[in-house]
Amino acid sequence: MWLKISTYQKRAEYVVQNGKILNLREQQHNIAWNNERVFTTMNSFLWGSYANRGTYIFNANPLGDNHYKVVSSMVVAQNGNWDNGLIRWSGNQYNPTIENHFYNGTVYAFSFMMEFLSKNNGLIGDCGFDVFIGGDILGRYRINGNNQYMQNLMCGDVNTGGWNGAFGFRPIGNLQFKRSYENLVVHYMNIWTQPIRLHEQQNAISVKCLAIEGDM
């Protein structure tokens, strides 16, 4: 009888404030991480004048070289309607081999998950995706080698001043698939297209980051 197991080469946990850069190498005596993932969970929950009607966005967006921008914010529209200018959808499919745009205009905050249709398919080799708005790259998602594969990713960020331009993702490198070509599907897309404000105790909001290198 075969028993499925997972092996982890590295594992570390950190509590990080919004907007901070988590440098895994710096935290681990300059030891490089390879094909790691950083998962986030809420570490604090705040009540305030929003009466819990805002939306929490928390994620660790990879920037390359084991650096991650940590996002931990509660956002709400500036006017009376908490969801003013909020665009939501889920289930749209995209061709991973070309540049795709979700929205074109001003974006103040966003969050989404993207995955291949099959749980046992994904990218291998040396390739990946960039998530961008205009000329700003907000997430660099990469896989190296054939021992593991990238089946999904999550991305989210907040900018009260707004980004301008096309919001989407593009392939980086020569995409190779674990099984065969397959579409990507985007879930839980949220795009704030009108000015937002943050929780009045924004500086007290943090997330717990779990970094893992190994079989995932």
Cα-Cα-Cα-Cα dihedral sign, residues 23, 28, 34, 35: negative
| 100-148 residue pLDDT tens | 999 999 999 999 999 999 999 999 999 999 999 999 999 999 999 988 8
pLDDT, position 43: 82
**What contacts 128, CB < 8 A, 6 or more positions away?**
140, 141, 142, 143, 150, 171, 172, 173
Structural domain spans, the chain: 11-214
Nearest C-alpha neighbor of 122 from the set 91, 155, 146, 154: 146
Nearest C-alpha neighbor of 211 from the set 1, 40, 21, 31: 40
Strand partners, 75: 55, 198
| 59-98 residue pLDDT tens | 999 999 999 999 999 899 988 687 899 999 999 999 999 9
- The pTM assigned to this predicted structure is 0.93
